[in-house]
């Protein structure tokens, strides 16, 4: 999975954090393909969890602050994904599962869909507010 401009939402902090998550998933993928270095994979999974938690928390904070109409659905989708990643992290740590390319591909496709769908909607909402904010557009004479 490559970072593509096609999944950019044009809100810079969101794009930066999405890119970091895409990079981490790619690193995890390479590490699995290179033969599962457990120590490194634990570390990468921990980073993926903390990165994702922080990112979701920030999006949710912004949605609440802006009174975003689709907040509940968006938050729910975050909850489903972070639970899946946490389960995978725990199962891997406890030696219940080995990390498979399928599990990683699943997370990658979920993330891509979420960014292209719900996050793109949120970004459009944020940008519309910025465009209609007179402080952003400069002072008026009225």
Chain contacts with Fe ion (rule: CB under 5 A): 59, 119
Nearer to Fe ion, 37 or 83 (CB): 83
Least Cβ distance, residue 96 to Fe ion (angstroms): 28
Rounded CA-CA distance 131/67 in Å is 17
Please check whether residue 44 is in contact with residue 28, taking contact to mean a CB–CB distance below 8 angstroms: yes
Least Cβ distance, residue 39 to Fe ion (angstroms): 29
Going through the chain in order, the beta strands assigned E by DSSP cover none
Rounded CA-CA distance 66/52 in Å is 21
Residue nearest to Fe ion (CB): 119
Please check whether residue 66 is in contact with residue 121, taking contact to mean a CB–CB distance below 8 angstroms: no
Nearer to Fe ion, 88 or 111 (CB): 111
Least Cβ distance, residue 41 to Fe ion (angstroms): 23
Nearer to Fe ion, 41 or 48 (CB): 48
């Amino acid at each position: 999975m490559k970072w593509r401009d096609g999944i950019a939402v044009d809100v810079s902090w969101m794009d930066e954090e999405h890119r970091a998550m895409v990079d981490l998933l790619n690193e995890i993928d390479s590490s699995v393909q290179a033969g599962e270095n457990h120590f490194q994979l634990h570390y990468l999974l921990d980073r993926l969890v903390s990165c994702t938690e922080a990112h979701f928390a920030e999006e949710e904070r912004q949605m609440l602050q802006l009174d975003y109409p689709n907040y509940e659905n968006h938050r729910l989708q975050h909850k489903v994904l972070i639970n899946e990643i946490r389960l995978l992290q725990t199962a891997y740590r406890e030696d219940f599962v080995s990390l498979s390319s399928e599990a990683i591909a699943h997370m990658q496709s979920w993330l891509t869909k979420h960014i292209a769908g719900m996050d793109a909607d949120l970004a459009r909402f944020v940008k519309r507010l910025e465009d209609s904010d007179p402080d952003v557009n400069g002072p008026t004479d009225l």
